[in-house]
Amino acid sequence: MSFRPMVYVQGEWAGNGLRFATIDEAEASARNLMARWFLVDDIRVDESEDAVNYAWDNGLKEVVNA
């Protein structure tokens, strides 16, 4: 299990391929995206069955090798 950051943009929830090991990491990633994009109205974190592929460390995302 992993966690994926989601953003609410123009009436739709959207995500990307980033999957994190913890809710906190996924939320930090979503908050970072919200700070950089102008059209994000909200964020959330969803559970995913996908493998973890990123880690969030000191405000930076890092690829996790499987």
Q: How far apart are CA 42 and CA 58, in angstroms?
A: 23
Is the whole-model pTM more than 0.85?
yes
Q: Hey, CA dihedral for 52, 58, 59, 60, is it positive or negative? A: negative
Average pLDDT of the chain is: 92
Asked if pLDDT for residue 55 goes beyond 60, the answer is: yes
Taking only the tens place, the pLDDT of each residue in 16-37 is 999 999 999 999 999 999 999 8
Average pLDDT, stretch 33-55?
95
